[in-house]
Structure 1
Amino acid sequence: MPHIYYDFFAGGGMAGFGLGSGWQCLFANDIDAKKAASYRANHDGGKELLLKDVAKVTPDEIPGMADLVWASFPCQDLSLAGKGAGLAGKRSGMFKPFWQLVRDLHAAGRGPRMIAVENVYGAITSNGGRDFATLAAAFSGLGYRFGAVVVDAVHFLPQSRPRFFIIGIRGDLAIPDLCIQETPSSVWHPPALIEGQNLLSAAAKSRWVWWKLPVPACRNVALADLIEENPKGVTWHSAAETQYLLDMMTDLNRKKVEAAMQLGTRKVGTIYRRTRLDEAGHKRQRAEVRFDDVAGCLRTPSGGSSRQTIMVVEGETVRSRLLSPREAVSLMGLPETFILPERYNDAYKLAGDGVAVPVVRHLAEAIFEPVLKRNRLALVA
């Protein structure tokens, strides 16, 4: 029988692609109609998806009992690029009604066996670590043994995308020894997380575990492997448009392009437009390029600067254009069969708001599935 999961803030259902065929989604929820359309297009109609504000969802609308609750709640107020509202913000504050649903399920005897909450790295440090402590207290208060990791999608995909995951196991379930370790790991537990854990309450610390994840094999996919020569949804820039980007670069970034030209081979870089202070202290928009075979972190297309541009250099030839929708979802680990929204911004937002597919699979193999296997007899009983 498949493992059962709920997918909150589901978006296009990327968590389900990561969990794989051994899992069945019994309930999904999102408030965005466009994302819901993509979910349904890519999940056999998505009858399990409820399009509704999570704050208005009731336990009666959620069937059965979940082996896993997955929740990628809104990150805007926790992001380093946000305004610092944290869990008190309008968007990231959606964690609170979500967690109330979890509490209600527990009260009804349907507490999920495992809960995984995903967000940006800034969730660890926002509000001086108080938001992280709030998340920890939520897990601890319901009796979960829990811990957190930071996993960068760059281990699996050519995209720099560090994300924070806090994972809890219901208190009556055993955790296999292979899933935990005595001390933090330099790969998965950065100094900010270790410091945040040190500041937790005694009650939360008593339920804390250091999750043990295997280090994945070296990634064998580079950014250039995903770049399309004839993309759909975008067009190559004119020579004047490419020159405009070059003119927006500082000397340091222009030298990166010149170095790529001297190689004489095909090099693919990515560009973000950022506002920087010039020598006179005036704000200017700059084009910053990287040629390390890794894309910058995909974001939502709230403005032109958030849309990632690629630059392809082959000898003296330099071309540029926006990242295509297909390239964006490929950078999230979605298959070529994934059905894209028709509008560029909708597709880019779907990718930028999503969770990297192979990261979910890694967590499933290292934690979720071993825990369920260890407790199989108890769960059947």
Structure 2
Amino acid sequence: MTLAAPLDLLKQARARFTQREIAAHVGKDIKTVRRWEKGETPCPSMLEPALRDLLHSSGRTKAGSATGDAQFRFIDLFAGIGGIRMGFEAHGGDCVFTSEWNDFSTKTYRENYPPGGDHALIGDIVSFPAEEVPSHDVLLGGFPCQPFSIAGVSKKNALGRPHGFECTTQGTLFFDVARIIAAKRPAAFLLENVKNLLSHDKGRTFDVILQTLRDELGYEVHYRVVDGQHFTPQHRERIIIVGFRGKTSFSWDDLRLPESGPRLGSILHRTDGSEPVLPWDHDRFFDHASKRVQPKYTLTPNLWTYLQNYAAKHRAAGNGFGFGMAYPESVTRTLSARYHKDGSEILVYQGEQLRPRRLTPRECARLMGFPDTFRIPVSDTQAYRQFGNSVVMPVMREVARIMLPHVQTLLAVETHNGSKQALSLYS
């Protein structure tokens, strides 16, 4: 089914670019673009960010905003390679501040989001003064949840010592999110984490987080576990926590989650001659001359034998451990940061006569919902780690869509109230 948003963006792009220019930017053949435009084949939804990026390059706005101006300002904490940022830029946001401590992730981030204007990209947020963070409307953070305990709070109560979020989460990276929210008071925030955050320490960890956000900081908070397989062929459940500085009618029921998502075959390199030649990839992952994935991604005989024996050993013991074979019609297991070690959670079937293979880093990018315009300037090992730690970008884009009307309402009300207050000072 052709989705309206990508097709509309394609029409907008055609008013400024030739079919050849569009094809080169999105990494497709010119004949494919022509078929999209004629309606002969659907324009894929995964191309929406790439088309928005093309419109931005023509001097429109950073995220394809129809107004020509950024609709809201946001900051990107624990940014990784920018998956959450990309989702919010797709709805007219302007990123004014980024924090990412890993040098390899920063390299990928800079390659895909060149610094401009007053935007700052810093390293570790822990030592950065909250008051120096730019003012912003939305705070984004895929914060790592390092285990922490609330043990000792009762004792501090008895001793009359202060506690609250500065005590109960001290030493964790969530504390840095909380202190920035406390100092800058954004209209809204989005935090993302693993599903297990809900059950960590028998639920006490999550209780502290909610108490901090709701009671200490005074935000209206909503959370939900969303599975990425609605948008990409990967079972990937993550908890998303959103908060607003005032009362809203926000509802998770507004999410548009396709019942039947894509299958693995939609993101694999195509061996029928239609695999796009990406100028930033060349033949790094796919040999276009032979029309096949580079041989280095096929498991070695020793590794394949080891994984089969390992799986057989655990089956005999009644355990469920083992490799995960994936087929074109499959939805894969969750891609992890350890994928570079043996690829065991997602092995691509290559027929009875061939050993299975790993996904290539480009296929991992597609599995996380990144467009083919996304550049991979790091080694395969680092790329696997980065995509395994990233977010499913279309999930972030969809959550941004349902958040932003409430953000805009809050900002409009506060602007109106501020104007009334200013008028009263001079009356």
TM-score (norm 2): 0.64
Q: How far is 1:327 from its partner?
A: 0.7
1:137 aligns with 2:211: yes
Q: How far is 1:310 from its partner?
A: 2.4
Kept in 2, the 8 Å contact 1:248–1:286? The answer is no
1:311 pairs, out of 348, 355, 374, with: 348
- Give 5+ residue unaligned stretches, structure 2: 1-68, 149-166, 272-282, 286-293, 417-427
AA paired with 1:51? I
2:111 pairs, out of 41, 45, 56, with: 41
Change (3 A) 1:310 1:289: closer
AA paired with 1:5? F
1:10 aligns with 2:83: no
For 1:132 and 1:284, locate their aligned partners in 2 and report how far apart those are by CA, in whole Å: 28
1:54 pairs, out of 97, 115, 125, with: 125
Change (3 A) 1:356 1:136: same
Change (3 A) 1:77 1:49: farther
For 1:35 and 1:91, locate their aligned partners in 2 and report how far apart those are by CA, in whole Å: 26
1:104 aligns with 2:139: no
For 1:91 and 1:31, locate their aligned partners in 2 and report how far apart those are by CA, in whole Å: 19
1:213 aligns with 2:292: no
Change (3 A) 1:76 1:323: farther
2:228 pairs, out of 153, 174, 187, with: 153
AA paired with 2:181? V
For 1:89 and 1:12, locate their aligned partners in 2 and report how far apart those are by CA, in whole Å: 29
AA paired with 1:36? T
Q: How far is 1:349 from its partner?
A: 1.2
Query: In the alignment, what sits opposite 1:240?
Result: 301
Deviations 1:282-319 (A, max 9, x none): x99843435461121111127725664423244x4344
Change (3 A) 1:49 1:224: farther
2:197 pairs, out of 123, 127, 139, with: 123
Change (3 A) 1:18 1:289: same
Q: How far is 1:359 from its partner?
A: 0.6
Q: How far is 1:277 from its partner?
A: 3.9
Kept in 1, the 8 Å contact 2:337–2:385? The answer is yes
For 2:138 and 2:225, locate their aligned partners in 1 and report how far apart those are by CA, in whole Å: 19
AA paired with 2:197? A
1:168 aligns with 2:243: yes
Query: In the alignment, what sits opposite 1:94?
Result: 173
Kept in 2, the 8 Å contact 1:10–1:71? The answer is yes
Query: In the alignment, what sits opposite 1:19?
Result: 88
Kept in 2, the 8 Å contact 1:75–1:92? The answer is no
Deviations 1:307-352 (A, max 9, x none): 64423244x4344222111011111111101010330111111111
Query: In the alignment, what sits opposite 1:378?
Result: 413
Report matched runs for 1:186-265 at 5 Å: 211-219=252-260, 221-228=262-269, 232-233=284-285, 235-237=296-298, 240=301, 244=305, 247-248=308-309
Deviations 1:23-73 (A, max 9, x none): 000111111111111111111236734332211011243112x22101101
Change (3 A) 1:236 1:6: closer
AA paired with 1:223? L
Larger Rg: 2
Change (3 A) 1:293 1:302: closer
Q: Could you tell which deviates more after superposition, 352-361 or 69-78?
A: 69-78
Secondary structure, counterpart of 1:148 in structure 2: strand
AA paired with 1:48? H
Kept in 1, the 8 Å contact 2:188–2:243? The answer is yes
Kept in 1, the 8 Å contact 2:324–2:333? The answer is no
Query: In the alignment, what sits opposite 1:259?
Result: none
Higher helix share: 2
Change (3 A) 1:346 1:247: closer
Kept in 1, the 8 Å contact 2:340–2:384? The answer is no
Higher strand share: 1
1:297 aligns with 2:329: no
Query: In the alignment, what sits opposite 1:345?
Result: 381
Query: In the alignment, what sits opposite 2:276?
Result: none
For 2:412 and 2:227, locate their aligned partners in 1 and report how far apart those are by CA, in whole Å: 34
Query: In the alignment, what sits opposite 1:198?
Result: none
Secondary structure, counterpart of 1:294 in structure 2: coil
For 2:146 and 2:175, locate their aligned partners in 1 and report how far apart those are by CA, in whole Å: 15
Secondary structure, counterpart of 1:339 in structure 2: coil
Q: How far is 1:219 from its partner?
A: 4.3
Task: Report how many aligned residue pairs link the two structures.
Answer: 306
Kept in 2, the 8 Å contact 1:54–1:97? The answer is yes
AA paired with 1:237? T
Query: In the alignment, what sits opposite 1:81?
Result: none
Please provide the CA RMSD for this pair.
Answer: 3.2
Secondary structure, counterpart of 1:127 in structure 2: helix
- Give 5+ residue unaligned stretches, structure 1: 79-87, 106-110, 181-210, 252-275
Identity rate, percent: 25
Q: How far is 1:248 from its partner?
A: 3.0
AA paired with 2:101? I
Query: In the alignment, what sits opposite 1:71?
Result: 141
Query: In the alignment, what sits opposite 1:362?
Result: 398
For 1:91 and 1:351, locate their aligned partners in 2 and report how far apart those are by CA, in whole Å: 29
